[in-house]
Copies of this chain bind each other. A is one copy, B any other.
Amino acid sequence: MTTAAPSSTRALDHPTRAEIRLEGVLHALSDPMRLRVVRQLAADDAGLGGLSCSQIDLPVTKSTSTHHFRVLRESGVIQQIYRGTAKLNGLRRDDLEALFPGLLDTVLTAATAQAERVSAP
């Protein structure tokens, strides 16, 4: 069938706040590619409301990107909304902060520190 999909607004499945699990979040963040995504989203976070998938630079194919975005979404780390042909991604800061206070910022700070440490002379 082509199936009667309500095409007005394609909706995506997100876990509710209560469904977000710490192990899932940690697992999502433990992959270098996904950590990279989260860092880029965090950098943008202050200025805008979301980045499209293609705005985020990853050294993998599109299929793999889609996979990582899905893992991030299903673990509750990011939120995805369709906007025309693009899909906007944003961190679920409020939910994460309510569930695990300070976790996201601590991980982001740690990631930045490590990046500087690794690339340091």
Contacts and interface: CB of A to CB of B under 8 A. Distances in A.
Number of copies: 2
Interface of A: 18, 21-24, 26-27, 29-32, 35, 99-103, 106-107, 109-111, 113-114, 117
Contacts of A32: 23
A98 to B, nearest CB: 10
Contacts of A31: 23
24 contacts: A18-B117, A22-B35, A22-B107, A22-B110, A22-B111, A22-B114, A23-B30, A23-B31, A23-B35, A26-B27, A26-B30, A27-B27, A27-B30, A99-B110, A99-B114, A100-B106, A100-B109, A101-B109, A101-B110, A102-B106, A102-B109, A103-B106, A103-B107, A103-B110
